[in-house]
Structure 1
Amino acid sequence: MDAVARAERLRTLMRGATPDDVLAFFDGLPPVEVADLLGSWRGAELPTGHRLDGLLGRFGWHGKRFEGADAAHPLVFDDGRGGLVEVNPALVPLGLVVRLAGLLRNPVAAAAFRVVRPLLRTRRPRARVRMVRHRGVVSATMCYDALPVHDVFRRVDDDTLLGLMDLRGDDPPFAFVLRRQRA
């Protein structure tokens, strides 16, 4: 499948897909090198019925930023004033978020997050990128410093990646898309 066909398939999946459909698509995508990730990326959730579907967007997730193999920012959010803020994933109670995902879909939870977001802010990178074998293919993977999370990437085209959040004990994985931001 060429890049044009892969992009079209992704557009179809973005309207909603089963985890099996997304995993089959992911498995057919080419790997990504660490250098290919450098820069800022706008994120979007790929709806599969995962319990985290809809949460990142509701809370203002913008995407990810990669400065180098040892300097990655996994959680970049809109700051509500036209800027961006990096959030320290170690300060996000991920286990609680996963267990209470249904309750967090209300406007009160999003408003509360906006209030505490300044307390979660970091300027330091909170992840690294390494080449990791996942589902039989070695590809660039963001390894969070303080959480049992790896975000594994495959290439849709030069400016679009499909990511899977590999969280220990969470199956199937949460799927998302990253689109390169040009300066």
Structure 2
Amino acid sequence: MSLSPEQHYEQLVIGRNLKAQDVQAAFDNLQPIKPESFVEAWKGANVNTGHPTEEKLTGMRWAGKTFRSTEDVDPIMVYDNDGRRVSNADWGHARLRQIEWNGKVSTAMVYDDFPIIDYFRYVKEDLIAGAMDAKTASGGTYYFYLFE
């Protein structure tokens, strides 16, 4: 029995030392997601492709993202020394928009103060695939996922 695109993505991202092109192919096969799917706080995790952003976010104690509305998003939540989720003010705020990327229109998060767009795809109700495209970043696209 063959796997659905969603099942394939789930199995792929639990691996280590993944090839970015394999993750990109799996991401591109996923369905778009609507902005209404983003409510409240989502935990975040790296997809292990060796991208430099993985180490940077791990060092920051990245917790995920918080969505209050399409116009009010904390794009980088971290754990403070007491283990609480707090917004990393250095990364400012963001908003959600429907944007085409790799042939699909889906929800994307546009940072207010940085040339960064995070593109999202639906995996299942409690799991969202993410791809960060940063104009100034080295290493290509950074892949991550959000979960509840």
| TM-score after normalising by structure 1 | 0.73
| From 126, 141, 152, the counterpart of 2:93 | 126
Q: Residue in 1 aligned with 2:47?
A: 46
Could you tell me which runs of 5 or more consecutive residues in structure 1 were left unpaired when the two chains were aligned.
91-124
- SS of corresponding position for 1:177: strand
Which structure is richer in relative contact order (CA contacts within 8 A, separation 6 or more)? 1
Once the two structures are TM-superposed, the CA of residue 59 in structure 1 deviates from its matched residue by 1.7
Are the aligned partners of 1:33 and 1:139 in contact in 2 as well (CA < 8 Å)? Answer: yes
Distance 1:68 1:145, change over 3 A: same
Q: Secondary structure at the match of 1:17?
A: coil
CA distance in 1: counterparts of 2:13 and 2:21, whole angstroms:
14
**1:64-84, Cα deviation, whole Å (9 max, x unpaired):** 010111010101010110212
* SS of residue matched to 2:26: helix
Distance 1:155 1:16, change over 3 A: farther
2:16 corresponds to 1:10: no
- Matching residue of 1:139: 106
- Alignment CA distance shift 1:138-1:6 (3 Å): same
Equivalent AA in structure 2 for residue 79 of structure 1: D
Aligned residues: 144
| Alignment partner of 1:178 is 2:146 | yes
* Identity percentage of aligned residues: 30
Shift of 1:7: 2.3
Q: Which has the larger radius of gyration?
A: 1
The residue number in structure 2 matching 1:69 is 70
Q: Which secondary structure state, in structure 2, belongs to the residue aligned with residue 35 of structure 1?
A: helix
Taking structure 1 as reference, are residues 67 and 164 closer, same or farther at Cα in structure 2, changes over 3 Å only? same
Give the structure 2 partner of residue 167 of structure 1: 134
- Could you say if the C-alpha distance between residues 47 and 8 of structure 1 is closer, same or farther in structure 2, counting changes exceeding 3 Å? closer
| Cα deviation 1:32-91 (Å, max 9, x = unaligned) | 10000112111111111212222211221100010111010101010110212101245x
What does 1:16-95 align with in structure 2 at a 5 Å threshold? 16-90=17-91
Answer whether contact 2:38 2:67 (CA < 8 A) is retained.
yes
| Distance change (3 Å), C-alpha of 1:74 and 1:156 | same
Q: Which has the higher helix share?
A: 1
